[in-house]
Amino acid sequence: MNFPRMLAVTRKEAFQILRDRRSLYLALGIPLVLLVLFGYALSLDVDNIPMAVWDQERSPKSRELVDRLTSSGYFTMVMYTDSYKSMVDAIDQRDAYIGLVIPWNFTRTLTHKGGATVQAFLDGSDATRAGIAIGYLNVITSIYRNDLLTEELRRQAVQKVDPPIEPRINLLYNPELKSRINIIPGLVAIIMMVIAALLTSLTIVRERETGTMEQLISTPIKPSELVIGKLIPYFVLGYVDMLMVYLAGQWIFGVPFRGSTGLMFALSGLFLVGSLAFGVWISTVAQTQLAATQFALLGTFLPSFLLSGFVFPISNMPLFEQLITYVIPAKYFIVILRGIYLKGVGIEVLALQALALVIFGVITTSLAALKMGKKLR
């Protein structure tokens, strides 16, 4: 490998990047814009669920139950109704998501039988949200019932009876259960995969369209030198993007960082090399810049978003889709980022994912060099 020739390609590509100021600004600005947009738009938290209530009894106990639900932060009172029809109509019109019916004998049943039944109507069109809302409702009503029983036992001067099993749960790494803490590290991987491929997807096809490809063919430069020389300036630019996205994740979204900064940037470099080389390979295959851009978007964003475990658990996917996920590099990088960011783990835990990124980088760089060799012949 001739280093002077490779550095000459690097200087040429760097001058091309600096001359195209508009593309440079977009390359530096798009990652932050995407992080802010997706960071605020993507949320798996379910709270402030609009609730309609038909309180048939209108007693202090029934009002206390409603207060328990609304004060939890998970439910928001939007209306009181006086019939099943008006309640279902509110759910159909999306004015309410859950309807609660408190029967006319709520207090008497609760006092004499130690428990009472309330009826709930939910919009089941969103199964995930409905399941979470049911869980919230069950927990809050169970706590309310236990508090009433404890109060009654104390009133009767009976010693409190402890439950046979009392779980004491310790939440590690994300004690507040904020979905954003889990989403942002994964979002960094998705954004950098897309941006890195887009940065280099136009390098070769632009040479062909501007007529400078013939000049490269006439030079003694080797395919590997051309590929590496073109990757170096975009690697530096990609690291700048990655640094901005990392800092924005901490400063804007408050994602904690518990691991090693050096390890994070080293493994991020492996991912960046493979992603940039994938963009170069796209550039050698595509015939036009528009086709290269479309191919880069479709080949990176959709697989990384859907099949990396970023939002949808891989274990819930069909078997053939689970097999496909093994060739999605973002899958391994997301594990790395979440492990370093949230858990502070070291390379001994992430060695398998790091090896997968090395293999990804070797394969994409080799494919790009082989395809480039055919172009230079």
pLDDT of res. 335 = 93
**Residue-level length of the chain:** 377
**Cα–Cα distance between 264 and 164 in angstroms, integer?**
46
290-323 pLDDT per residue, tens: 888 888 888 898 889 889 988 888 888 899 999 9
Mean pLDDT, residues 238-251 taken together? 86
Range scoring the smallest mean pLDDT among 22-31, 46-55, 86-95, 150-159: 150-159
CA distance 296 to 195: 9
Measuring CA to CA, how many Å separate 187 from each of 167, 257, 365? 33, 15, 24
DSSP secondary structure string for all residues of 159-188: PPPPPS--------S-TT--HHHHHHHHHH
Q: How many CB atoms lie within 10 A of CB 44?
A: 14
User: pTM of the prediction?
Assistant: 0.79
Task: Note whether 320 and 337 are within 8 A (CB).
Answer: no
219 contacts 12 by C-beta, under 8 angstroms:
no
Structure tokens at 345: 């783990």
Q: Report which secondary-structure segment, H or E, holds 21.
A: helix 21-41
Confidence of residue 351 (pLDDT cuts 50, 70, 90): very high
> So what's the pLDDT on residue 157?
58
Average pLDDT over residues 243-253: 86
Q: Which of 170, 62, 160 is nearest to 116 (CA)?
A: 62
For residues 113 and 145, give the distance between their C-alpha atoms in angstroms, rounded to a whole number: 12
Q: What is the predicted pLDDT for the residue at 166?
A: 61
Residue 109, both tokens: 């049943």
Would you give the DSSP letter of residue 310?
Answer: S
Distance between CA atoms of residues 123 and 137, nearest Å:
14
The whole-chain average pLDDT of the chain stands at 83
